[in-house]
Structure 1
Amino acid sequence: MPMNRQRDDALAHASAAASARTAKVAAHGVNVFYGDKQALFDVSLDMPDRAVTALIGPSGCGKSTFLRSINRMNDTIPGARVTGEIVLDGEDINDRSVDPVLLRARVGMVFQKPNPFPKSIFENVAYGPRIHGFATSKSELADIVESSLKRAGLWDEVSDRLHQPGTGLSGGQQQRLVIARAIAVSPEVILMDEPCSALDPIATAKIEELIDDLRSQYCIVIVTHSMAQAARVSQRTAFFHMGKLIEAGATDEVFTNPRDTRTQDYITGRFG
């Protein structure tokens, strides 16, 4: 048995190393400022494709700030400034040649509180493909909507009421609708900022199952305050504290054998 355990540990380490090498998104020395206040300090982190990277840490530690940097949502905040480099498939997303609108089609975002448009279920999902010109006919658009709702695990629940308001769905259904809306434009990366914090345990379990299904197709980065959720859904975990990345690695390793005492203290509930 010890030999088997050693072999399994070696395979896990090799897998984690391979994941780090095949980063879909990579941050190098990223600093974020809001006016004179610095919110992130010299953050470098690889986020692999077809895997979930969880960002954990106490409130105000910079997790959401870092997440918003990956699709330039910080651009919308007056006085915000980002230095360093964030690379998506080898391209610096902050380069002047990169159109933020097109970037956000490649890097979808799901927020803490479900935010469906005040439109029908169908129009919520069809909106992105329509404005980006992904569909050339009504039937093609309908196919994209159906496919997206199926991938979000929502089709069976809403197929007979596609023209009813998306805001009429339950909280968990609304969050899956928002995920369907995000994947309808064929993104490469999905960012999730506390996607389950406003949901009940049953809806949370459905979202976690969905995340597990989607990770085979996307690079997913999730901010969560729940240690149990990070352990359940992610393959890699990054611990932030006071605007700094303290450590990152394979999730099982970070949770069972953290290298930094601050990570250990946070995971065991000594602070946070």
Structure 2
Amino acid sequence: MTDVGRGRILSDYILFASSEQTTVETLGRILGRFLGGLFKVTKNTSSEITRTLADSRHLMEFLTSQMERVAAELPGGVTPEIAALLERMRSAISREVHPEQCLGMVDLWPGSALIEGNGECGLVDWEHFGLTDPGTDLGMFVGHLHLLVLHDGAPKGASATTMNFISTFASSYFEANPGISAYFEWRFLIAHGRSLICGTNVFAETFLESTKLKAIKAGLSCLQAAGDQGGTGVDHDALAELPPDVKRGVQRFLAPRDEESRMLSPVS
């Protein structure tokens, strides 16, 4: 990353470098439009291409182990209820075939987005580029952004700036790649919950213990809300346990489903 200039990663840019809402909105539109287009045009990628891509299983195994390690540090340890949610996550991310399969970064988080001083934005660190699905990549990305909302050391206004970015990003993404499914909802919530829990390591030195516990609890609520295998609908009671801003951000990516078409454009 140091080879491509003196830019800041997106999370640092939101927290410390920009008070200009218009700039943040522009970044949200750019990234949302790009990822929406990428996922849309790479659906049903041919087997000839997929055979040449990186195997992401070792990354998934690493993220699983990180999540289990963080959960083990909870004051009450890993209860049977938490163990069941961890198994839900493990089962979901170990799937090798996805009905909404596309190409993506796989390891997509705010550290992947580099912002130059003139406001130009680029994505870096493509080493895990390969097969994924939109819900998983977006859930991971937004989950890490929500850690900024919970961050104790964030400057005044950073939470509002983050939420503004998420809202603009979501609108731009769905303009480029409209429609949502129960499978998308399921994968988004699984990846979002995993990122809230694993991502506490990113801010290990700056999070208060109470904030870390809040993030872990929110992550577990997302796993609970996701349901077992997708298609059963979101558990909105579990979703209600999220901190208000996190819940509002998540809802930008979830929508009710039409029973006949099972697809709807997202609700604003």
The verdict on a shared fold, with TM-score over 0.5 as the criterion, is no
Higher helix share: 2
Higher strand share: 1
TM-score scaled by length of structure 1? 0.28
Structure number with bigger Rg: 1
